[in-house]
Amino acid sequence: MKPQERFAVFVKSLGVWLLVTGLGTLPLATFGLRQFSDAEDFFYMIMQSIGEPLFMCVAGLWLLRSNWIADVTYPKLGVTNSSADLYPDQSATSLELFSALTKTLGVFFFLHGITILPHALSDYHSVSGPSWARPLLLFEIIAVSANSIVFGVLLLIATNWFIRLGFSELLDDTNPADNEVTTYKSPQLALFAVIVKTLGLWFFIHGLAKFPHAITQAFAGGIATSWEAIKQSAGIFALPVMSVLMGGLCFFATDLFVKLAFSKRPAAVQ
């Protein structure tokens, strides 16, 4: 299978997930439909209720029926013929697979950043409270959506940069045979390493996307002046911080997980 064909299969699989998820949540979303007073009220009612699942269904059908993303965003690979000659084992295949998964992750984050906008805009329209509530919510909406969209685009068009970042030792000019773990000669090790690095990217970007919500929660709670308030603020930021740290660990310390999962166990003493 050619690398572009593999990426097209991943994108179509993502399309199935979007379509099924959108159809699965659409019946429940229809309970949000109500009487409306004017065109503006109708618009925000749709955005709050069925806007997100409808967009997921449309995006899923588009990914299923179109190869446009694969044709436009996958013209080149981070693996050249010389790379395949230099790494005759599973290394070249690993780079191709990681490239396809990274681009697929980019499609997911890009669409996610757009999908969350309808419901978020409806929340912004109906928010009430202190004078700073609306600007704070607007900051969260823009920051969360922009984070997903920007990283989605980067994963799509700057895939080679992430490949070099994740497989720097493999792409080094020195002899790759010096490091048996990094070259991943076994297909099982190579596949596991690619999956771990892809999960690392997802955890890292997902954690960054959670920071704006944590900031708004902490700001809404006021300045921490007591030990209980400090602990509450620490708990708010714990999830995004740990997600970013664990993502970096999976991406940059993949060999640790490979050794943990596939190291030979000593034989039991009879």
Q: Looking at 119-133, 157-171, 230-244, which range is the least confident one?
A: 119-133
Predicted pLDDT of residue 72: 84
Report the length, in residues, of the chain: 270
pLDDT of residue 252 exceeding 90, the answer is: yes
pLDDT in tens, 142-164: 899 999 999 999 999 999 899 99
pLDDT of residue 251 exceeding 90, the answer is: yes
Mean pLDDT over each residue of the chain, to the nearest integer: 80
pLDDT in tens, 47-62: 777 888 899 999 999 9
pLDDT in tens, 86-112: 444 556 778 889 999 999 999 999 999
pTM equals 0.80
What percent of the chain is predicted at pLDDT more than 90?
Answer: 34
